[in-house]
Amino acid sequence: MKKEVVVLDADRKQCRNLCSLLTGHTYRATPISSFSNMERYLGKSECRVIVVNLDSVAVTNKSLKTLKRKKPLINIIALSGRQFHPELEEALREYISVCLTKPLDADELIYWLRATFENNEKPI
């Protein structure tokens, strides 16, 4: 059985590449380009993991807090080329499970996905 991962990335090429990487492993990747589209999709999905590109999608502490309140078991894995996100301090501390740097190390992402799906009871 494939495990679903939502890839939230407004950069179509990056999103397509990441989805290809995930489908090459044991994951079903669902590409979504905006936070509002993702919220609608998650309303009818049992997805447990979101990989969000912080460099291309506008998210805020409040939007991630609301998402976690609605879907407390969701795990958020962030990707970013920046090392510092002062505007997301609360989200990085409370709602984002891990923030990976770009260029993405595929092995590191797969490690975190395995850890997430092995831990079925609660977010990592």
Task: Give pLDDT, residue 120.
Answer: 64
> Are 46 and 34 a contacting pair, CB within 8 Å?
no
Give the CATH fold of the 3-118 domain: Rossmann fold (3.40.50)
Task: Give pLDDT, residue 115.
Answer: 92
Task: Give pLDDT, residue 65.
Answer: 95
Domains of the chain, by residue range, sit at: 3-118
CA angle 35, 81, 86 (to 5 degrees): 70
Residues of the chain below pLDDT 50: none
Task: Give pLDDT, residue 124.
Answer: 52
Q: Can you give the pTM of this predicted structure?
A: 0.91
d(CA 25, CA 5): 12
> Is 33 exposed, middle or buried (CB count within 10 Å of its CB: 0-12, 13-18, 19+)?
middle
Task: Give pLDDT, residue 2.
Answer: 66
